[in-house]
Structure 1
Amino acid sequence: MEAVADSNRAIELDPSMSKAYFRKGSACMKLEEYQTAKAAFEAGAALAPGDSRFAKFIEECDKCIADEMKDTQKSAPNASQGTVLPSVGSRSSDSAAVTVKDTKQTQDTSQHALDKPKYRHEHYQKPDEVVVTIFAKGAQSKNVSVEFGEQILSVSISEDAYHFQPRLFGKIIPEKCRYVALSTKIEIRLAKAEGIHWNSLEFTKDNLVPQKINVSSASERPTYPSSKSRAVDWDKLEAEVKKEEKTEKLDGDAGLNKLFRDIYQDADDDTRRAMRKSFVESNGTVLSTNWKEVGAKKVEGSPPDGMEMKKWEY
């Protein structure tokens, strides 16, 4: 259980970490939570397509899920078994014991009614969906009811008088949501209506849904969380770095290359075409910015003083 919890925390901190999904899937397989494990492996495979381990474990999960479904179909209760009644002679001798037993059963029944079962549940998310798992071992699928609203999930298990109906953190698409009831758990997939990260499963006043940020001016540029006490404006920092690169003075070939690069970057389309054509056709010996001059003819090579142009035959 600790491994699953650690993996969920790692995924919340960095949803793009494929290793966290692999660790979660491995931990869930050890707990025989194969549907949850498969979903984790699928999420990891989408992030790391070249990792063959995910495909192998997804195939293993499919086999285990198929076996689990077979066991569920075979586990239907046999209600046709009769009750063996004691003989007349034994009834009188055991009457006191029966009275005590009946009283105890009545008390146990009353206590059971008061202590309704509370099943553990957990969730994890992917960019387009949230997967909720309710660990209701032994619950019959015919007694399980799951309904989806715009921002409501309702789960009921009639045989145990269990009801779970949270208001969700974000909105969902009910027609795209689905669930499956297995012998050990109920797995529910909620299709997100918006591509936002859910900070929790349930909505609270202190946990508002994040809104998209519209940056209209330099003074409203977003800042990002940091372990430092001072907030860092990364957009401003990037602009400063670009300014330093533009004003940086280099010597020799580096300075010449920077000059040509700056000219090309700030030039219009005709100037860029002229620079490309002259440089390629002259084998790097001529660089012209005049398209009218070089556009209508081939640019011949012009080697530096003291050097000679030669053509190589292959």
Structure 2
Amino acid sequence: MAAELFSKANEEFVSENYQRAIELYSEAIQAEDDRDDFYVNRAQAYLKLEKYTEAYNDCSKACTIKPKNVKAHLRKGIALFHLKDYKNAIDAFREGQSLDSADSSYAKWLEKCEAELPPLSSSSTEQASSAPTEPTEEPSTQPTAQTPSDSTTEPPTMPPAEPVKMPSGPKTKHDWYQTATHVIVTILIKNVAKEDFTADIQEHTVSVSIRQGSGTDYSLELDLAHPIVPAQSNYKVMSTKVEIKLKKEEGIQWTKLEGEGQPKEPTAYMAAPVATAPTTSQYPSSSTVSRDWDKLALEVAEEEKTEKKEGDAALNSLFQQIYSDGTDDVKRAMLKSFYESGGTVLSTNWTEVGKDKVDVKPPDGLEWKKY
């Protein structure tokens, strides 16, 4: 019963139905309240809705159940950071870092916390060290009455302060799609300065932080459904969006962007057939709700036209332009030469290419092998 509710809650979370996911996680917790992963996942849904106090409470409960739950310490620290409780956030991040020192996201969050703390002033220390000491009084010969507070009474403790709620900024959406080799995550946020953007890309996780002018930070924490290759992944900050390109470790089709313990699909990635007469621009997404991205396309069209391409992107753009502007013979020559040569030759001369099969011509120093 609880496991089934937990599975349904994870599906709702992946579909970005965070409130419904919280409801299902809560039902699962009512059925089985000693599962730390139930609390940790509900905390992540609370973080998505910027309910940081609830997220902190869930992570604290998860840490009580399983003190070595790494995700619980990380998400607890993130919740405390957004609640502006930076000192306790540092403690949470350091605890998680001691359990998983290989995860560099802890170091980055610790750096963010320390940047928010005011610098320590040395004036108070110097004043204390230079202040004259009080003269020692002579011991009194008169008996003194002892009060009970001399040995038994402890100093009064102050009640814990309620965490301060941070003002909620504008909601920011993210989406994703995939190719045979990459997963591309798009964050729809405008006018992000490169110095305000940080991304930590690990084999199984992606952590994004964007400092915004409203005084709040946007953060995105992804637990990826499958491993990626961080060294071959990158991101690009544009005026209307941020694009994170993740290199798949294996060329399989992802059915979800996020997931825990999800088995690998046995089938290799296959591209979906191209529709002959699409009526609406649809964006592949983890969400079950179809989205019309025509409006966004209009906003970024001008930027992509004027965007300066480099390297392979510039070369591919040139080939595409030649193909689109070419005659039927030019197009036939380009397709035939590229296909028959295994991608090593690209010719526009149909008179030459049409006579015979195009041979493979690998670059100098490389040997062509047929597998």
Same fold by TM-score greater than 0.5: no
Q: TM-score, normalised on structure 1?
A: 0.30
Q: TM-score, normalised on structure 2?
A: 0.26
Instruction: Specify which structure has the higher proportion of helix.
Output: 1
Instruction: Compare CA radii of gyration and give the structure with the larger one.
Output: 1
